[in-house]
Amino acid sequence: MEQNQLDRETFSCSICLNLLKDPVTIPCGHSYCRNCITSFWDEGERKKSYHCPQCRKTFTPRPELQKNIMLNICSKHDEVMKIFCRTDQKCICSLCLVAEHKGHDTVSAAAERTDRQRELEERRGKIQQMIQNQEKDVKLLQQEVEAINHSAEKTVEDSEKVFTQLIRLLQKRSSEVKQQIRSQQETEVSRVKELQEKLEQEITELRRKDAELEQLSHTEDHNQFLLNYPSLPALRESTHSSSINIRPLRHFEDVTAAVSDIKLQDNSTMYSSSIENMQ
């Protein structure tokens, strides 16, 4: 009698107090007739509050009702399927046990549910542990992404400093080279102009002498011609012609070569120096 009373409580709806009809299970694990729990929640629709009539646990939003195959009515015998056949892995009623499932490994549906529930909780525990482990991995990966981004930004910043220093060094060296070229240009032009002036003076003197000789050549009096001729000064070769060294477009080849050496050598030197200064 006590077992029958327990079975009736197990397979009864706590809303209508009758045997479960079209049983459904809600998220907290309690089961009700589909119509009963649907009507119960329809009444709470206005408040948008849905809870279990037994444990009072609330759900938001309204849960989907899941059919409870463990508590269904047997289609052959119209009996509650409160027995689970482990041999065939299905729920059966007491008449099925006597007929088709005689000698099979059977337990009460409630006992099987307890075992399955335990397995479910163990599996959920493993899944939750896996989730925690993977969440830790996700955080580690996110930290790595942040470290990569920080390192990249730091490297870009340091590189910009290096190249800024390189540009400044090159600009300074360029200014120094320009000053050297202008100084050499001034020296060379001054030297050439000085020599040019001396040559022009010699040309003027030679033209004067040529005019005297021309005037002498037109002297008609032979005695006067012979008298004046020995007084002419002897001609001397120019002392400046031999020092003229024309080097068209080649005056600054040595400077060009020096700049090329800077380009080939100073790049690595300045870069290394900049790196050291940056550090």
CB 55 within 8 A of CB 25: no
* DSSP string for residues in 180-195: HHHHHHHHHHHHHHHH
pLDDT in tens, 100-155: 888 888 888 888 888 888 888 899 899 999 999 999 999 999 999 999 999 999 99
**Which pTM does this prediction carry?**
0.43
251-257 long-range contacts (CB < 8 A, ≥24 apart) are 251/184, 251/188, 252/181, 252/184, 252/185, 255/177, 255/180, 255/181, 255/184
Strand partners, 85: 90, 106
85 DSSP assignment: E
Largest CA distance in the chain: 182
Q: What is the pLDDT of residue 61?
A: 84
Backbone angles phi, psi at 39, to 5 degrees: -65, -40
Q: Using the CB atoms, write b or e for 126-140: b if 16+ within 10 Å.
A: eeeeeeeeeeeeeee
Question: Measured between alpha carbons, how far apart are the two ends of the chain, in Å?
Answer: 90
**What tokens appear for 215 in the block?**
């005037």
pLDDT in tens, 52-90: 898 888 888 888 887 776 566 777 776 777 888 888 888
Label residue 6 by pLDDT band (50, 70, 90). very low
**What tokens appear for 271 in the block?**
């870069």
pLDDT in tens, 7-47: 555 678 888 988 778 888 888 888 898 899 998 988 877 77
Sheet arrangement for strand 90-92: 90-92, 83-85, 106-108
Q: What is the mean pLDDT of the chain?
A: 80
The CA distance from 43 to 23, in Å, is 20
Q: What is the pLDDT of residue 154?
A: 94
- What Å distances lie between residue 109 and 68, 86, 87, 101, 106, CA to CA? 12, 10, 13, 15, 9
Nearest Cα neighbor of 187 from 101, 269, 255, 264 is 255
Strand, coil or helix: what is 31?
strand
DSSP E strand stretches across the chain: 23-25, 31-33, 50-51, 58-59, 66-67, 83-85, 90-92, 106-108
Q: Which amino acid is at 132?
A: Q
